[in-house]
Structure 1
Amino acid sequence: MTTARDIMKPGAQWISQDETVARAARVMADLDVGSIVIADENERMVGIITDRDIVVKCIARGHSPETTPARDLCEATPRWIAEDADVDEVLDSMEVHRIKRLPVIDGNKRMVGMISESDLARHLDDESLGDFVTAIYGRP
C-alpha cells in the first residue's frame, strides 16, 4: 500500500500567522516552493498561502506585503492528511476539496511533509493522474 508518507516531500516548513506576507514570500523563495503553511502560536495549522494568493489577494488589491499579516490571506478551513493514509485517501481529499497541495501530519499532529501535484505526477500511474487532473481542472 502506498501512503501519504511515501509520496510527500518531507520537511515542509511553516511560518507564524503574525509574520508578514513579505516574510512568507521570502521563505517560499528560499525553499523554492509555491506555498507555505501558516500556523498559530501553538504550531497548529490555520491555513496555507500560495504565491498566487500573494499576488491576487495582497498585491493586486493594493495591500503592502511588508505590513499585511500572513493570516489575512488564509480563507478556508485548512485540510491535511495523516502520514499513514492510503494514496486513494490523498487523491479523494484533494479532488473533493479541489486543492493542489496537502500537508501531511504524523501521529502527534505535527506537519512532516507536503504533497503537491508534482509529487502525484511522480508517483501515480497515467490513469490515476489523469483522473486527478480532470477532477481539479476539468470541472467548472
Structure 2
Amino acid sequence: MRALLFTLLLALVAPALAAQTALPPAPWADRQLADPAQEADAKALMESIRCLTCQSQSIADSNASMAADLRSEIRERIARGEQPEAIRAWLIERYGDWISYKPSATPVLWPLWAAPILLIVGGLVVALRRVRRRRQS
C-alpha cells in the first residue's frame, strides 16, 4: 500500500519537478534596433508604459520578465513600421488605461480632471466669505 501511495505521489510531483522554470528571454528585450530613429521612438514609448509586475516603474526601467516581453513586443512592432501611438492604443486596449503613464482626456474622466479645480475654487469662495465676515464685524 505504501509503495502504491509513493508511486502515485511521485507521478503527481514528477511533472512539476521536470518543468522548465524560466522561459528564454524575449529576443528584442535588451537589444536595440538598428535604426536610431526607430529605437528613439521605441525608447520613448517604453518610458511611458507602466510595468505590469513592478507597477511603479516604466518597462524601460524594470527588470521583470513581463517588462522584457513588452519591450521586445514594442521593438518588434516598431521595426515592422507601426506607429508608437498605435502600439500604445493596442496596449491600452489589451491591459486597460492604467498601463499608460500618459493620462487620457476621455469624457468619462472629465469629472476627475475638474474635481481639483472645483475644490480650489470652492475653498477660495469659503475663504473670501470668512474674510468679509470678519471685516464686517
TM-score by length of 2: 0.24
Q: Which has the higher helix share?
A: 2
Q: Which has the higher strand share?
A: 1
TM-score by length of 1: 0.24
Structure with bigger gyration radius: 2
Which structure ranks higher in relative contact order (CA pairs < 8 Å, sequence separation ≥ 6)?
1
